[in-house]
Amino acid sequence: MSIHNKIPNGLIRAVIFDLDGTITEPFLDFDEIRLQIGLPPDSGPLLEAMESMSQAQRQKAEDVIYEHEKLAIAHSSLNFGAAETLDTIRNAGISVGVLTRNTHSNASAVAQKHSLSFDIIFDRNAGPQKPDPFGVNYLCKHFGIHPSEAIVVGDYLFDLQSARAAGAIAVLILTGKNEQFTKYADYTIDKLPDVLGIIEQRNKVK
Question: Which residue range(s) make up the domain with 132?
Answer: 2-25+78-202
At residue 1, the pLDDT reads 57
Count of domains forming the chain: 2
Question: Do 86 and 8 reside in the same domain of the chain?
Answer: yes
Higher per-residue confidence, 104 vs 33: 104
**Cis bond upstream, residue 128 (ω within 30):** no
Question: Do 103 and 175 reside in the same domain of the chain?
Answer: yes
Beta-strand pair 150-154/169-173: parallel
Question: Do 20 and 34 reside in the same domain of the chain?
Answer: no
- For the cut 90, the answer to whether the pLDDT of residue 68 exceeds it is no
Neighbours of 164 (CB within 10 A): 20
> What CATH number did the domain enclosing 96 receive?
3.40.50.1000
Question: Do 14 and 109 reside in the same domain of the chain?
Answer: yes
Instruction: Among 39, 59, 74, give the residue marking a domain's end.
Output: 74
What is the spatial distance between Cα 163 and Cα 141, in angstroms, rounded to a whole number? 14
Task: Tell me which of 2-6, 67-71, 99-103, 119-123 is least confident.
Answer: 2-6
- For residue 55, with 0-12 CB atoms within 10 Å meaning exposed, 13-18 middle and 19 or more buried, which class applies? exposed
- For the cut 60, the answer to whether the pLDDT of residue 6 exceeds it is no
- pLDDT per residue as tens digits for the range 81-139: 999 999 999 999 999 999 999 999 999 999 999 999 999 999 999 999 999 999 999 99
- For the cut 80, the answer to whether the pLDDT of residue 51 exceeds it is no
pTM: 0.84
Beta-ladder partners of 152? 16, 170
